[in-house]
């Protein structure tokens, strides 16, 4: 009995968990996610109603007595009609409307957006997100990693690609999942209706650090968005402070420049995230660590201890003075 009660309580507990926490799929902040959530609630509501009706009928069947106290078997002719109606006709009608609703939501979510829509290219890597903002000609004009900023109230087209294996783009509060498939470009769109920061997560198992492939989406006012985009487009500022110049020398002399780009310097490798404006990001290592000086230091020295198997090696050669100069420099890249 206790087991049955637990079993019945499990869906309720699950629903309560799904309605709160960091990435609430049902606490929506944009039209795409809202449509999917509405469909979910309709289906869950109708499903629950049917469950209650079936259980009530079962209960009624169990306690019901034949008019003569059970001496004769009940006539089953009426039951056969009931079975045909509730077992065939009603489910077909309900499934028909569910299919219609599902197809209509899918059409809205997959609809092509008008020309001139702000477009972001998202490329999945093991285990981080390469993000490019495209201009009206479809040319990349700003590059970042693991974080995207969106203007509130404007639809944004996403071009989803993968550099290695299948990943899946999922910012639950903004939209459902869309896969990133090697050799293919999937198109999807999101829109945030209010300012806010929304955490996303790769939703397709893609290797050892799949769970540490997060991303942040921040919705800001259109003016703040334009200012942010202008800052991201610019190369790193020219340095005059000797301490920062020393930090840049460390970056260019150590193994950092083998994998990373800092636009405006001689570091142009594209194996890892573009670090031109890393100081302006909230998180590092694909939303694994907050972007603080301490976490950045830990990541530079011990990336393999934090995310084993990722492409960033541990660093055994940096001394304290060089590390501090490097941290000063990276944090200055706003």
Check: CB of residue 285 under 8 Å from CB of residue 298: no
For 128, the enclosing helix (H) or strand (E) is strand 128-134
- Choose the binding region for ligand CUA from 102-110, 112-120, 145-153, 202-210 (rule: CB under 6 A): 202-210
- Choose the binding region for ligand CUA from 54-62, 186-194, 201-209, 240-248 (rule: CB under 6 A): 201-209
According to CB under 6 A, which one of 202, 278, 318, 325 is a site residue for ligand CUA? 202
Indicate the angle between helix axes 90-109 and 31-63, nearest 10 degrees: 170
> Which tokens in the block code for residue 318?
């940096």
Check: CB of residue 322 under 8 Å from CB of residue 250: yes
Q: Which of 199, 184, 58 is nearest to 129 (CA)?
A: 199
CB of 203 to ligand CUA, least distance (A): 7
CB of 242 to ligand CUA, least distance (A): 41
- Cα separation, 90 vs 45, whole angstroms: 16
User: Cα separations (Å) of 13 from 6, 8, 9, 152?
Assistant: 10, 10, 6, 33
According to CB under 6 A, which one of 14, 76, 96, 205 is a site residue for ligand CUA? 205
Cis check for the bond before 127: say yes or no (omega within 30 of 0).
yes
Q: Which residues of 128-156 are buried (b: 16+ CB within 10 A; e: fewer)?
A: bbbbbbbeeeeeeebbbbbbbbbbbeebb
- Choose the binding region for ligand CUA from 149-157, 199-207, 254-262, 276-284 (rule: CB under 6 A): 199-207
Cβ-based nearer residue to ligand CUA, 261 or 310 = 310
Rule CB under 6 A: is residue 325 a binding residue for ligand CUA? Answer: no
By CB under 6 A, how many residues form the interface with ligand CUA? 9
According to CB under 6 A, which one of 25, 33, 122, 124 is a site residue for ligand CUA? 124
Cβ-based nearer residue to ligand CUA, 120 or 267 = 120
CB of 167 to ligand CUA, least distance (A): 3
Contacts with ligand CUA by CB under 6 A lie at: 124, 127, 167, 202, 204-206, 210, 213
């Amino acid at each position: 009995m206790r087991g049955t009660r637990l079993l019945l309580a499990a869906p309720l507990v699950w629903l309560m968990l799904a309605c709160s926490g960091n990435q609430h799929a049902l606490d929506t902040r944009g039209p795409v996610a809202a449509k999917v959530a509405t469909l979910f609630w309709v289906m869950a509501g109708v499903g629950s109603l049917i469950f209650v009706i079936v259980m009530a009928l079962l209960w009624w069947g169990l306690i019901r007595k034949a008019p003569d106290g059970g001496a004769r078997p009940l006539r089953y002719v009426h039951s056969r009609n009931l079975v045909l109606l509730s077992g065939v006709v009603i489910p077909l009608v309900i499934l028909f409307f569910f299919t219609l609703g599902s197809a209509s939501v899918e059409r809205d979510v997959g609809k092509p957006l008008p020309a001139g829509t702000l477009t972001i290219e998202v490329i999945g890597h093991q285990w981080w997100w390469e993000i490019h903002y495209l201009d009206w000609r479809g040319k990349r004009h700003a590059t970042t990693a693991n974080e995207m900023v969106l203007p509130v109230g404007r639809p944004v087209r996403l071009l989803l690609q993968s550099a290695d294996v299948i990943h899946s783009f999922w910012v639950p509060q903004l939209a459902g999942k869309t896969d990133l498939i090697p050799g293919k470009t999937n198109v999807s769109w999101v829109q945030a209706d209010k300012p806010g920061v929304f955490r996303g997560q790769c939703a397709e198992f893609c290797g050892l650090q799949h769970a540490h492939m997060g991303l942040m989406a921040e919705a800001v006012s259109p003016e703040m968005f334009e200012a942010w985009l202008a800052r991201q487009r610019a190369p790193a500022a020219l340095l005059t402070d000797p301490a920062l110049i020393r930090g840049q020398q460390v970056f260019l002399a150590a193994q950092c420049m083998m994998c990373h780009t800092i636009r405006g310097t001689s570091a142009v490798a594209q194996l890892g995230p573009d670090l031109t404006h890393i100081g302006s990001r909230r998180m590092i290592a694909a939303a694994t660590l907050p972007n603080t000086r301490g976490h950045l230091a830990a990541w530079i020295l011990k990336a393999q201890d934090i995310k084993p198997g990722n492409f960033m090696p541990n660093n055994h050669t940096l001394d304290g003075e060089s590390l501090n100069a490097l941290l000063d420099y990276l944090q200055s890249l706003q």
